[in-house]
Amino acid sequence: MNLPDPVSAAESPRALAEVNRWLGGRTAGERIAWALQSLSGAHALSSSFGAQAAVSLHLVTQLQPDIPVILVDTGYLFRETHYFAGALRERLALNLKVYRPQRSAMWSEERVAGLRELGNDGIARYNHAHKVEPMQRALRELGVATWIAGVRRSQSRSRADLDFIELRDGRWKLHPIADWSDRDVWQYLQRFDLPYHPLWHEGYVSIGDTHSTGRWQPGMREEDTRFFGLRRECGLHASA
């Protein structure tokens, strides 16, 4: 198998498109193996320990058991998310790196309670302080050259055109399960006896902070359950 050259891909949009086409013909495991082998520098996997997080955690750590796993603890995660992260950390022997917002930038509970009324601009400010800045700090402090994330095209309209690999802020960002469906996720979890997030069984299909995550209701899209239906992205994987 002729492996694509990441140096050429970094220098040419056309070459990068060719790499993405090549990755489209590979399995998720093969995509991860190629990245670990071909992309120089430190690698890391991010996880929100959301509904289906066990898939990416298992896929990646089977190939690099000691890879840093970055969790941004916003200060407003569900208690069940902390439990889930602890259980998966023990089961998969995760090299977990927890990052939190800077104390001076943290929003109070009173301010967070009015987040919906602040609209998109307010949500964006909250997300930058509690999610984006801690992640950027983690990537910088860990010297990450390749960031692996478990986002998928089917999760929202804003992710529909997601590439398998992109250059973002001077580093590689790999999405090895970008083309997976919910059925693919379910089959993988079943195959390896991996759990969903505990709140999945209570009707939560996309799980973030307590104040901006809702249960799925008939007629809703997955993305409608986050941020009061005003937006899908927090800024970690897309700007809107």
Residues annotated as catalytic are: 234
- Angle between helices 79-92 and 54-61 in degrees, nearest 10: 20
Dihedral angle, C-alpha 177, 85, 232, 44, nearest 10 °: -50
Q: In sequence order, what are the beta bridge partners of 115?
A: none
Pairing of strands 144-148, 171-174: parallel
- Per-residue exposure over 21-44, b if at least 16 CB sit within 10 Å of its own CB, e if not: ebbeeeebeebbbbbbebbeeebb
Which residues have a Cβ under 8 Å from the Cβ of 99 and sit 6 or more positions away? 70, 71, 72, 73, 134, 135, 137, 138
Is-contact 225 213, C-beta < 8 A?
Answer: yes
